[in-house]
């Protein structure tokens, strides 16, 4: 069975991506990061998702709290109820170079366990405008891995799989339902707590997706 590493935040997108990897017959190892984010609620969801699937789950500790982002610096306010299209500007919730860092570590794990692919739940349709969620970024990163890793120079370049990159949030919800992904275990809110805020960019996109897909969201909101 081919092996894959799945970047799992515990959110909707990454959980559906994990479900896709499982459905494609991959032996999955999930990797999450405790990087100095505002709360650990999403990591709790990631652990619950991995227990649901019975798969290996690694949490990597690193400190990105010195990076300028509302997700790592509590002095910066998480924006809520932003007007207009959410992809018109890069918001303060962007964590500089986060996907570059996460993908690099995932690639190292791939080489260590002889996995052939990294799955990441990036989306370039309904998203918050992050530059490291775009197809041209992943194309460039694939080229870098082909040239800068042992696997690459030996002709076994690590693939980067982005199965939901062209989906709307509604499509992602539908795909999750189709694959019986545990969407009720996921967490998307930028805030922590027992209930999601419902007003941050991530909550708004999630709620829009469930509504357009014709399903009720299974998590609690304030």
In this predicted model, what pLDDT tens digit does every residue of 170-213 receive, in sequence order?
Answer: 999 999 999 999 999 999 998 888 999 999 888 999 999 999 99
**Structural domain that includes position 187:** 3-213
Residue 203 is assigned to a structural domain of this protein: yes
Structure tokens at 199: 């007003």
Q: Is 219 part of a structural domain of the chain? A: no
**Nearest to 36, CA basis, from 68, 77, 2, 12:** 68
Contact yes or no for 11/154 (Cβ under 8 A): no
DSSP for 163-205?
TTTT--HHHHHHHHHHTT--GGG----SS-SSSB-S-BHHHHH
Asked, for residue 220, whether it belongs to a domain, the answer is no
- Count Cα neighbours of 220 within 13 Å in the Cβ-side half-sphere: 5
Burial class (CB in 10 A: 0-12, 13-18, 19+), 121: buried
Domain CATH for 72: 3.40.50.620
The tokens describing 127, both together, are 């998203």
Residue 221 lies in a domain: no
Q: What is the pLDDT of residue 82?
A: 46
7-59 pLDDT per residue, tens: 999 999 999 999 999 999 999 999 999 988 878 899 999 999 999 999 999 99
**What is the token pair recorded at 95?**
């964590």
Is residue 26 a part of any domain in this protein? yes
Q: State how many domains the chain has.
A: 1
The per-residue pLDDT for range 54-98, each reduced to its tens digit, is: 999 999 998 887 777 766 666 566 666 545 444 557 777 777 788
Please report the beta strands in the chain, taking only residues with DSSP state E, as ranges in sequence order.
Answer: 3-7, 27-34, 56-61, 117-119, 159-161
Q: What CA–CA distances, in Å, run from 83 to 17, 77, 95, 129? A: 29, 16, 21, 14
**pLDDT (0 to 100) of residue 133:** 84
pLDDT, tens digit, 9 for 90 and up, residues 136-165: 999 999 999 999 999 999 999 999 999 999
Confidence at residue 33, expressed as pLDDT on a 0 to 100 scale: 95
Q: Is the pLDDT of residue 108 over 90?
A: yes
Is 186 a domain residue?
yes
Q: What is the distance, to the nearest Å, from the Cα of residue 181 to the centroid of all Cα atoms in its chain? A: 15
Amino acid 128: pLDDT: 60
């Amino acid at each position: 069975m081919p092996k894959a590493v799945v970047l799992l935040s515990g959110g909707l997108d990454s959980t559906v991506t994990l479900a896709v990897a499982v459905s494609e017959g991959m032996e999955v190892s999930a990797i999450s990061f405790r990087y100095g984010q505002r709360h650990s609620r999403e990591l709790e969801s990631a652990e619950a998702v991995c227990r649901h699937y019975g798969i290996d789950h690694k949490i990597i500790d690193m400190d990105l709290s010195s990076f300028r982002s509302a997700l790592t610096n509590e002095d910066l306010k998480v924006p809520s109820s932003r007007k207009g299209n959410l992809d018109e500007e890069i918001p303060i919730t962007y964590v500089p170079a986060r996907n570059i860092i996460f993908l690099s570590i995932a690639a190292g794990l791939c080489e260590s366990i002889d996995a052939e692919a990294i799955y990441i739940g990036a989306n370039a349709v309904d998203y918050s405008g992050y530059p490291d969620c775009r197809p041209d970024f992943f194309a460039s990163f694939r080229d870098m891995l082909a040239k800068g890793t042992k696997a690459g120079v030996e002709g076994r370049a690590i693939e980067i799989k982005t199965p939901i990159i062209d989906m709307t949030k509604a499509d992602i919800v539908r795909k999750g339902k189709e694959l019986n992904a545990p969407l009720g275990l996921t967490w998307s809110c930028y805030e922590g707590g027992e209930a999601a805020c419902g007003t941050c960019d991530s909550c708004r996109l999630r709620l829009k997706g469930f509504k357009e897909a014709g399903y009720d969201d299974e998590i609690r909101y304030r």
